[in-house]
Structure 1
Amino acid sequence: MATRERALERILTPREVAAANRLHRTWLEARAPLPVMSGFGVWPLLSVLATGAVGDTRSQLLTAAGLTPERAARIPAALAEAFAETESIRLAIAVWAGSRITLDPDWTAGLPVDAVGTLTGDTAADKAALDAWAARATRGLIDRMPVDLSQPVDLLLASALSVTTKWITPFRDLRRTFTTGPWSRLGPVRGLAATLPGDRLRVGDHLSVLTLPGDGDIDVLLGLGPADRAPGLVLGSLVATDPASLAPAADLAVGDRAIGVEVTEQRTARPQQGPEVDVETVRFDLASDLDLLDAHRALGLTLAADRDRARFDRMAAQPVNVSQARQSCRAVFSATGFEAAAVTAIAMARAAGVPKLNHRRKRVLITFDRPFAFLVRHRPTGLNLFAGWVDEPETA
Structure 2
Amino acid sequence: MRATSATIRAVNRMTAHWAADGLAPEALAKGTAFSAAGLWPLLAFLADGACGPARGELEDALGMRADEAAEAARGLLGALARIRGSSAAVGLWVRPGLEVHGQWAAGLPDATLGRFSGDDEADKKALDAWATERTGGLIPAMPLRLDKATLLVLAAAQAVRTKWLSPFQETGLEPDDEGPWAGRDLVGLSRRTSLLDRVGVTETPTGRLTVLHVLGNTGVDVHLLLGEQDAAPGAVLAAGIGILSGTHQVVPGYRLPLGEPGPGLNVRNVRAGDRDHVLSVTTSPFSLTAAHDLLATPALFGLTSATDAGHGHFPGVSDAPLAVQQANQSASAHFTAEGFQSATVTAFGAAAGCAASATPYVVRHIRLVLDRPFGFLTVHRTSRLVLSAGWVAEPVDYAPAERDDEDYDYDDYDDYDEES
Specify if TM > 0.5.
yes
**Equivalent residues of 2:2, 2:78 under 8 A apart:** no
Q: Deviations over 1:227-246 (max 9, x none)?
A: 12222222222222248712
Inter-CA distance 18–202: structure 2 relative to 1 (3 Å threshold): same
Amino acid in the other structure paired with 2:323: N
Aligned counterpart for 1:263 among listed residues 264, 267, 270: 267
Residues 310/377 of structure 1: CA separation in 2 closer, same or farther (3 Å cut): farther
Identity, % of aligned positions: 35
Q: 2:113 aligned with 1:110, yes or no?
A: no
- Structure 2, unaligned runs of 5 or more: 399-420
Query: Are 1:334 and 2:329 an aligned pair?
Result: no
Give 3-state SS (helix, strand or coil) of 1:127's partner. Answer: helix
Note if 1:127 corresponds to 2:118: no
Query: TM-score scaled by structure 1?
Result: 0.89
Counterpart Cα distance in 2 of 1:343 and 1:43: 12
Alignment partner for residue 7 of structure 2, among 4, 16, 22? Answer: 16
CA distance in 2, matches of 1:78, 1:31: 26
Q: CA deviation at 1:223?
A: 0.9
Of residues 270, 279, 298, the one that matches 1:277 is: 279
The whole-number CA distance in structure 1 between the counterparts of 2:269 and 2:74 is: 55
Cα distance, 1:141 vs structure 2: 0.9
The alpha carbon displacement at 1:256 in A equals 4.6
**Matching residue within 295, 319, 324 for 2:297:** 295
Give the Cα–Cα distance (whole angstroms) in 1 for the partners of residues 187 and 357 of structure 2. 33
Query: In the alignment, what sits opposite 2:187?
Result: 189
Tell me the residue number matched to 2:411: none
Equivalents in 2 of 1:106, 1:122: separation in Å?
28
The amino acid of 2:264's aligned partner reads G
Q: Which amino acid aligns with 2:54?
A: T
* SS across alignment from 1:154: strand
**In structure 2, what is the Cα distance between the partners aligned to 1:196 and 1:326?**
43
Q: Could you say if the C-alpha distance between residues 316 and 176 of structure 1 is closer, same or farther in structure 2, counting changes exceeding 3 Å?
A: same
Decide which of 37, 42, 47 is 1:45's aligned counterpart: 42
The answer to whether the Cα contact below 8 Å between 1:61 and 1:300 also exists between their aligned partners in 2 is yes
CA distance in structure 2 between the aligned counterparts of 1:94 and 1:231, rounded to whole angstroms: 33
Deviation per CA, 1:321-378: give whole Å up to 9, x if none.
1000000000001111111111000000123xxx865244321101100001111111
Distance 1:305 1:338 in 2: 36
Q: What is aligned with 1:29?
A: 20
CA distance in 2, matches of 1:82, 1:239: 19
Kindly provide the amino acid, as one letter, of the partner of residue 116 in structure 2. Answer: L
Say whether the 8 Å CA contact 1:79–1:91 is kept in structure 2: no
Q: Is this contact kept in 1: 2:47–2:59, CA < 8 A?
A: yes
Q: Indicate the SS of the match to 1:304.
A: helix
Closer, same or farther: CA 387–183 of 1 in aligned 2, 3 Å: same
- Report if aligned partners of 2:22, 2:300 keep a CA contact under 8 Å in 1: no
Task: Pick one of 385, 388, 391 that aligns with 1:389.
Answer: 391
Q: Is the 8 A contact 2:89 2:158 kept in 1?
A: yes
8 Å contact 2:174–2:183 — kept in the other structure? no
Q: 1:279·1:367 contact (CA, 8 Å) conserved in 2?
A: yes
The structural deviation recorded for 1:319 is 0.8
SS of 1:36 mapped into structure 2:
strand
TM-score, normalised by the number of residues in structure 2:
0.84
Mapped partners of 2:303, 2:186: distance in 1? 44
**Residues 169, 152 of structure 1: CA spacing in aligned structure 2 closer, same or farther, 3 A cutoff?**
same
Question: Number of paired residues?
Answer: 383
What pairs up with 1:77-226 in 2 under 5 angstroms? 77-81=74-78, 83-84=80-81, 86-150=83-147, 152-178=149-175, 180=177, 181-195=179-193, 197-205=195-203, 206-226=208-228
Task: Write the deviation string for residues 207-242 of structure 1: whole angstroms up to 9, x where unpaired.
Answer: 111111212221211111111222222222222224
Q: Is the 8 A contact 1:303 1:309 kept in 2?
A: no
Q: Per the alignment, do residues 257 and 245 of structure 1 end up closer, same or farther by CA in structure 2, a change over 3 Å counting?
A: closer
Two-structure CA RMSD over aligned residues (Å): 2.3
Deviation at 1:186, TM superposition (A): 4.0
How far the C-alpha of 1:79 sits from its partner, in A, is 4.3
Residue identity in the other structure for 1:271? D
Distance 2:77 2:231 in 1: 39
How far, CA to CA, are the matches of 1:196 and 1:71 in structure 2? 45
Q: Which runs of 5+ in 1 are unaligned?
A: 1-9
Give the Cα–Cα distance (whole angstroms) in 1 for the partners of residues 235 and 100 of structure 2.
43
Per-residue CA deviation, residues 168-201 of structure 1 (Å, 9 max, x unaligned), is: 2211111334362222354332433333510111
